Structure 1
Amino acid sequence: MGVVFSKSLFLKQAALTLVLAIVLSLVSSALQFIESVRFQKEQINQNFEELLAVVERPLSEAVFRLDTEFAQQQIDSLLLSPSIAHVEVRDDTGKFFVQTELPDVTVDSMSQTFAEYFLSDLPEYRRQLHLLEPSFQAGYLTILPEKAYLLEGIFHKHLSILFYNLCKDLLLASLISFVFYFLVTFPLMRLTESLSSIKRNEELPLPKSFYRHHQNDELGNLHKTFSLLLTKLNTALSDLERSDSHTKAMIEHAADGILLLDQHNDIILANTAAQGMFKCSIKKKGMTPLDALHPSSPWPVFSDILNDLKIEEPLTVEATYQCSGIEIPLEIRLVKYCLQGNVETLLLIRDVTERQEAEAHIHHLAYYDAVTSLPNRQFLSNQLVTTLKHQHKKTSPCYSAVIFMDLDRFKTINDSLGHGIGDQLLRSVASQLSNLLEESMVFARMGGDEFAFLIPHINDNYEQAERDISAFANSIMYACQQVKKAGPHEVHITASLGGTLFNNDKESAEVILKQADTALYRAKESGRNTFALYREEMQAISDARLQMEKALHHATEFKLFELYYQPQVNAQNGLIGAEALIRWKDSERGFISPAEFIPVAEEIGLIVEIGHWVLNEALSQVAVWLKEGKWQADWRMSINVSPIQFQQAGFLPMLTEQLAKHDVPTSCVDLEITENMLLNDLSSSLEKMHAIKDMGVHLSIDDFGTGYSSLKYLKSLPIDRLKIDQSFVRDLLTDESDEAIVYAVVAMAKALNISVLAEGVETLEHYDRLKELECFYYQGYYFGHPLPPKDFIKSFVQDSNTLNSSL
């Protein structure tokens, strides 16, 4: 055939095809092998798990009976399978019970290396041995697989597959090479020779002597021949083609739709974006009327606009195009111009769906809450203003209502369980209460755990309106009391509600919202989980509450509090410590009871800062008294800790820091917590309590008997002392129930090896009766009132006879 094989494209192609066939065959086989290894691993895991399940019970019984011989027989039988290298049984303490392994067999190091590489993630198989009847934790069974054996089986299976694939691919490559030669190489050689001698207007001859005289590489000669021909053609056409291609590319790849109309408003050009936008195909030949794009659509007809459009005066319009039932908002830029005597109109069309969605999103962010997707305060305020405008237009009375709702103790839940759980709880409440709404109502989240309802028309009669708003509030409270699912927690909550009725006599939306807020505070002060309707006299109470908050902020900022100390004694009239009690003397109102300002501090978030100050002040005072020799090492300073403060993540580091700062022995410190705190998150509270005990700090349960969970969890609490609430001690002599409660608490504490201290001991009779009930630690006015530091030392420490003479 006269082919020079050293330059032949056929040989190059054939060699490359063979090489690729071998490589692909090997890669394919490798992939099959890897997949098989993966599948075999799963099969091995399944086999070993089934094997473990079979021997689990007999081995458990053998360990339970301490029958090592039977256990050895069981595991020896496992080694009948060459896929197992080692078996061992350990008891529940981790000691070997029985074990066995394959005898040492010389394994090729290369095989072992391959086994470790391909089966490196094959685990040891371990199962816990457990008897159900009787219930017994026997220990663990561990089986180690023989990886080399397992991999050898996989290799043997795939060697034949590898050989078969390689032969098949080589044969296929050979066939492809010969087909390629006769279908491609040979015709290209003839075509190359013909093109080299072609002249203008001459047919394409194929010389007979082509195969004898061809000396060049096929593709090389073809490239030279076409280069000569293209050089002649491209000289005249290159600039025109470049310009035309550039213009078409810009139009075709433009993100906006482009339509070009002639003077009759027929479409003569449409790019891909326009055709995709209008879900149509524009004919490349012939004219398509513009009206054909929207025959049954509400999209405005542009005939009048186009006819009135002046040349070189662009115009932008917005329209909505409907396609397959979907409306697409469009922005259209129209330009009319004259080109070579022909008037054409260019339409640049942009889909503004994303822009409108972004605007809608911004509107949603401005007027809706991100957590619950409810309307926010601004939305409700705007709707309230609209409601007032409608009322002003009416001549007859028409009562509307605004109700504020606050979730009780939500801050405690949020701090203890985390803000994520708090947000889920808010969404759960929002979803449940949304079912109570009627069409015209607005339900909004005002911020935090505060929600609001706007009822534009509740009733025309005031008395009936009061009954209706109370009934609606009761339905809200009932819904809130249902168990809420928040993450893994089932949360019990209640809600306080305050509402106000208004008609067109009210001044403004701000006044109405303030009245609802005032009623809400009244509901909270009434014990929570209740509803209060605004009355005129509530405003004075609200103002007083506001003054209290301002004064409390001022007192916290400038540390205007004091600590008083009340003695704690034992049955021998000996001092065993004191309780630090916060006192606040306002410049205008005088002394304010902690029962009055502590709940406010908890509600407005100041209790953590105040609690930090109390701890620092009490420890500082103990440090001073220890240095002066006025405080004994076995006395305890009792310090109250708010549930909110205790649940703070930084409470333990703060306590550690304070103890180190004042260098106070931890045995001198007794932290008092309330049992109600345990209701929020017992596991977290227990963890903190154990950490506190590990420091050496004492723990007491304050106001014991007034909560709900103490009897259930008392045995698991790491506490040193129970403080019987003074409400039980006060009527101890006259109320048999109170006496029974005190007796039961003392007996229970004695059984649990916990000391008991009675609060509110005010008379000798109380003192004597408590001793008869075997309560031997006391605190109350009978032993001494809370006093400032100097007076406390003077009355109860420096003169030891003072305390004894007062008893």
Structure 2
Amino acid sequence: MQGFFQGISFRLAKVGILIALLVGSVMSAIQIYIDYQVQTTEINRQISKITAVSTPPAVRAVHTLDAKLAAEVATGLMRYDFITSVTIKNELGTELAQLSRETPASNTKWLTRQISNEVLRHSAPLYMPTGGENGYITFDVNMDAAYGQFYQSSAVVIAFGLIRSSLLVFFLFIAFYYLLTKPLIQIALQVKQINPGSPGEQRLSRPAGIHDDELTQLVASTNQLLDAVDLALAKRRAVEVVLRKSEEHVRQIIDSLPVWVGARNKDGHYIFANQALADFLHTKPDAMRGSHISDFAEFFVTDPQQIIDLDAEVIKSRISAQIWEEKWITNDGEERDMHTHVMPMEFYDEVVSLVVSSDITELKRTQAQMEHMAYHDALTDLPNRSYLVERLEEEVRKANHGQYYGALLFIDLDQFKYINDSLGHPAGDGVLKHVAQRLTAVTKENDLVVRLGGDEFVVVLTNLGDELPTSILRAEDIGERLRRYISEPHFYNDLQLHVTCSVGIVMYPEEDAGVHELLRYADTAMYQVKEQGRDAIQFFNKYMADKARNVLVMEGDLHKALEQHRFSLYYQPRVDVTTSQIVGAEALLRWEHPDRGMISPAEFIPILETSGLIVEVGRWVLEDSIRQVKIWQEQGIWKDDMRLGVNISPRQFRSSEFVNDVTKILQEVGINPSLIEMEITEGIVIHNLEETVATMSSLCELGINFALDDFGTGYSSISYLKQLPVAILKVDQSFVRDITFDRNDRVLVETISAMGNMLGLDVVAEGVETCDQLHLVREYNCKYYQGYLCSPPVNADAFAELLTTKDITWGCGANKRDEK
């Protein structure tokens, strides 16, 4: 039972006292203030009355200078208790009467000082009946005595108010106790006896004497609340059962996860752990509760204190963190890579760090393997171009910083395609693997061997010395050893294969040369070896760079020439060696550069071939040639038995649209195809004989003739001549040039001509410039010839003039025309 002084009745009585005191005090204060105003008015009225009564006798006393009368007036005034002194003076200031007395002691002087002055002096002038001031009367008023009656009445008011308030509080206390406090105490005792575990077993009863009021509603509401709480507890118990089962299921799920799940507090103690984590640490989940992370330090590569600090930071900041690669060590000493998430989590009444770790060991291995594959060749396992670029950049920087020299070797296998074509790609792959092994065996550990692709390899020799001549000699020595070692026999199954290589070498660091420039320089040097016969080494020099740069510039100019129509066609007559009559011509491509003038075809035709422009340019040559023949035919100067030879490049000939393009041009121009003769080289034939024969046959069906150009400079296989539908055999000018004094050339020309005649082919000798050469080719039964003896290549207008000249008997000796 609670103490009396903590009861509601006491607190209500206390509040009542305060309210009663406050109300009584306010009312008393109002009453006292009113009394104060009345008393003040009364005092002022009495003073005015006293002044009015005492003034006449005082005037007579002053006028007559009657001191006795003045003393009587003063004595009369002193009869008032609140007057303490009286003084009467004439106009000259002479006292006629003066009386005073001591101010009596009083307990209310402090209060008088608060509301007024303790002594107030009143002075009144004394006027003569005839006018004019005759003196004055002065008296002092003791305000404490004047307010004495007011103070007494105020004390009565205050005392009465206190008694009234006390009685009111007492009766209120009795009423509050019996009407409220006592019933509440009974209800509180009943509530205290309720069993919290089973609130529905007991109900509150209404106290005696209580009717349908708020306490009755309180009892009813409390009983309803008890029923609701009892129902809620029943539901809660059911929910707890479900949650317990759910928690068991969640626990089973967490234990079944292939990741490690654990929770640690800020001090590094485990709150819980799943089965996967416990198995790795060779313990049980229950045993890990409360254990410290340092207990498992043998499994960590990281300092446990760093992990504790990270957990504390996550808990404090409430911000998740990740450890991308966390190292753990198994019981067998094997390293495991884990990707760990550390997250803040509310766990009952504290925040802990939830730690989830995924094993990425296999992923790391896979990534390492993929990275290796990205930077290495799948066949030879050598580094590839991507790795070369990164490593070579690093080596060039080191060489610049360390002031030493290195070398880049560009290696290309010679005629490697024949191994693939004849023995298949497995044999070629085997050779490439052998080459890779041999390159690795010869080079040092710090050197780099790279396969660029196909049959191309690059070797980077590092730190050959700080003297350029010495470094060049060392690079040359290593390059020669690599060349010889690669040239040794390669064994595939029971076959012994021989492969040579061409090696281009460039030294680094090279002024203003980056990685790609070094590769290009070495590649240029390697191709120089190819041009010079293969199976050798060649150092890059500035001449090669200038040549390569000129090729790039010329390639750009050729693109512009095609766009700006700067190409033109010249025509060189073909002459009958017997009649010296023009029987046709060969269309020759010419290019006049805007700055350099006329450029030799030997300079720009190979660039057209390598750049691929030859297909588009060749189509233009073919179309423009056919249109020119049509013009000459319409002019009547091109006979039906004449033929115009048009050179066809290998790339143009092998184009899948070549036959369709020729057919379309012939149809658009409307010309007899037999007037056109296509000149092909032996290089077209050897790449794919069957496809070549098929293309030529399709065009021959249209009526087009074919000539085999530059015969004798290539393979000159008679088997080709048997299968190819050619009508003309052209002897290359390199054989005709020295025919007059070189016996071997004479034999070759005679043999080629005889072979062509026996096969039923017309033989044309190219490059005839002298009468002696003409006599010999006529003697060897060449049917036609071309050369400066007849005419150099000329433009279309000049050739038309040749065709329209009546006396056109070109020749030597008896057939020589007269000079004009």
TM-score normalised by the chain length of structure 2: 0.58
Q: Which amino acid aligns with 2:553?
A: Q
Change (3 A) 1:737 1:315: same
- For 1:494 and 1:691, locate their aligned partners in 2 and report how far apart those are by CA, in whole Å: 40
Shift of 1:567: 1.4
Match of 2:645 among 611, 626, 638: 638
Change (3 A) 1:755 1:370: farther
Structure (1 or 2) with the larger CA radius of gyration: 2
- For 2:522 and 2:732, locate their aligned partners in 1 and report how far apart those are by CA, in whole Å: 36
Shift of 1:779: 1.7
- For 2:720 and 2:300, locate their aligned partners in 1 and report how far apart those are by CA, in whole Å: 71
Task: Summarize deviations over 1:760-799 as a string: whole Å, max 9, x none.
Answer: 1222222222222222122222222211111111113554
- For 1:512 and 1:670, locate their aligned partners in 2 and report how far apart those are by CA, in whole Å: 46
Residue 581, structure 1, aligned to residue 588, structure 2: yes
Q: Which amino acid aligns with 1:432?
A: V
3-state secondary structure, aligned to 1:722: strand
Match of 1:607 among 607, 614, 626: 614
3-state secondary structure, aligned to 2:439: coil
Task: Summarize deviations over 1:71-124 as a string: whole Å, max 9, x none.
Answer: xxxxxxxxxxxxxxxxxxxxxxxxxxxxxxxxxxxxxxxxxxxxxxxxxxxxxx
Question: What is aligned with 1:714?
Answer: 721
Shift of 1:269: 3.5
Question: What is aligned with 2:680?
Answer: 673
Shift of 1:802: 5.8
Shift of 1:286: 4.4
Query: In 2, are the aligned partners of 1:392 and 1:504 still within 8 Å (CA)?
Result: no
Change (3 A) 1:359 1:799: farther
Task: Summarize deviations over 1:581-618 as a string: whole Å, max 9, x none.
Answer: 11111122221111111122223332222222222222
Q: Which amino acid aligns with 1:251?
A: I
Question: What is aligned with 1:269?
Answer: 273
3-state secondary structure, aligned to 1:436: helix
Q: Which amino acid aligns with 1:759?
A: E
Query: In 1, are the aligned partners of 2:733 and 2:768 still within 8 Å (CA)?
Result: yes
Shift of 1:718: 2.6
Shift of 1:253: 6.7
3-state secondary structure, aligned to 2:752: helix
Residue 332, structure 1, aligned to residue 340, structure 2: yes
Task: Summarize deviations over 1:401-434 as a string: whole Å, max 9, x none.
Answer: 1234567899x99xx99xxx99997997587356
- For 1:758 and 1:485, locate their aligned partners in 2 and report how far apart those are by CA, in whole Å: 48
Query: In 2, are the aligned partners of 1:291 and 1:301 still within 8 Å (CA)?
Result: no
Q: Which amino acid aligns with 1:390?
A: K
Residue 309, structure 1, aligned to residue 311, structure 2: yes
Q: Which has the higher contact order (CA 8 A, sep 6+)?
A: 1
Question: What is aligned with 1:259?
Answer: 262
Q: Which amino acid aligns with 2:795?
A: P
Shift of 1:620: 2.2
Match of 1:781 among 788, 799, 803: 788
- For 1:541 and 1:309, locate their aligned partners in 2 and report how far apart those are by CA, in whole Å: 67
3-state secondary structure, aligned to 1:316: strand
Task: Summarize deviations over 1:363-408 as a string: whole Å, max 9, x none.
Answer: 66886679987655564344334334433454xx743112345678
Match of 1:380 among 377, 388, 397: 388
Change (3 A) 1:680 1:510: closer
Shift of 1:446: 6.5
TM-score normalised by the chain length of structure 1: 0.59
- For 2:635 and 2:650, locate their aligned partners in 1 and report how far apart those are by CA, in whole Å: 33
Shift of 1:704: 0.7
Change (3 A) 1:462 1:303: closer
Shift of 1:348: 0.7
Question: What is aligned with 1:654?
Answer: 661
Over the matched positions of the two proteins, sequence identity in percent amounts to 31
Query: In 2, are the aligned partners of 1:496 and 1:530 still within 8 Å (CA)?
Result: yes
- For 1:603 and 1:649, locate their aligned partners in 2 and report how far apart those are by CA, in whole Å: 18
Question: What is aligned with 2:739?
Answer: 732
Change (3 A) 1:601 1:470: farther
Consecutive unaligned residues of structure 1, counting only runs of 5 or more, are 1-231
Shift of 1:501: 2.4
- For 1:647 and 1:427, locate their aligned partners in 2 and report how far apart those are by CA, in whole Å: 31
* Mapping 1:270-285, distance limit 5 Å: 270=274, 283=284
- Higher mean alpha-carbon deviation, 427-436 vs 632-641, is at 427-436
Shift of 1:529: 6.2
Query: In 2, are the aligned partners of 1:260 and 1:270 still within 8 Å (CA)?
Result: no
Match of 1:390 among 395, 398, 404: 398
Query: In 1, are the aligned partners of 2:461 and 2:475 still within 8 Å (CA)?
Result: no
Task: Summarize deviations over 1:102-152 as a string: whole Å, max 9, x none.
Answer: xxxxxxxxxxxxxxxxxxxxxxxxxxxxxxxxxxxxxxxxxxxxxxxxxxx
Query: In 1, are the aligned partners of 2:264 and 2:270 still within 8 Å (CA)?
Result: yes
Task: Summarize deviations over 1:440-477 as a string: whole Å, max 9, x none.
Answer: 23344678987643211235554443344334445666
Residue 465, structure 1, aligned to residue 471, structure 2: yes
Change (3 A) 1:606 1:356: farther
Equivalences, count: 562
Change (3 A) 1:361 1:622: farther
- For 1:376 and 1:245, locate their aligned partners in 2 and report how far apart those are by CA, in whole Å: 55
Query: In 2, are the aligned partners of 1:426 and 1:449 still within 8 Å (CA)?
Result: no
Task: Summarize deviations over 1:273-317 as a string: whole Å, max 9, x none.
Answer: x68xx7788646644979899887674354652366223544422
Match of 1:791 among 798, 804, 817: 798
Q: Which amino acid aligns with 1:330?
A: M
Consecutive unaligned residues of structure 2, counting only runs of 5 or more, are 1-234
Question: What is aligned with 2:601?
Answer: 594
Shift of 1:681: 3.2
Change (3 A) 1:768 1:493: farther
Change (3 A) 1:777 1:387: same
Q: Which amino acid aligns with 1:258?
A: V
Shift of 1:354: 7.2
Change (3 A) 1:600 1:766: same
Change (3 A) 1:496 1:557: farther
Question: What is aligned with 1:442?
Answer: 448
3-state secondary structure, aligned to 1:634: coil
* Mapping 1:176-195, distance limit 5 Å: none
Question: What is aligned with 1:247?
Answer: 250
3-state secondary structure, aligned to 1:599: helix
Shift of 1:757: 1.6
